Amino acid sequence: MKLIFIVGIVLVVLGIASLLVPIPHSENHGVKIGDTNVGITTTHNERVSPIISAVLIVGGLGAMVFGSRTRA
């Protein structure tokens, strides 16, 4: 298998995964007064834009087609 074909497979898998799997993001908010620290941690699940996922999938499919062609 050619390298470009393998890269295409990886791009397609990443594109599909970016549609399905959210990316966790944590933030710490708090106040420190002397030796005392009062705070809260908030967690958000962010998703990648569907446009970026579509570009990854289409680019991966294009790389797979380009990589599967053999020269005569």
27-44: pLDDT as tens digits: 998 998 888 889 999 999
Q: Which of 56, 68, 62, 60 is nearest to 9 (CA)?
A: 60
pTM of the model: 0.70
What string of pLDDT tens digits covers the 72 residues of the chain?
688 899 999 999 999 999 999 989 999 989 988 888 899 999 999 988 999 999 999 999 999 998 887 554
H or E stretch covering 52: helix 50-68
Query: What residue ranges in 1-72 does DSSP mark as E strands?
Result: 23-33, 36-46
Q: 40: which 2 tokens?
A: 């809260």
The answer to whether 27 touches 66, Cβ cutoff 8 Å, is no
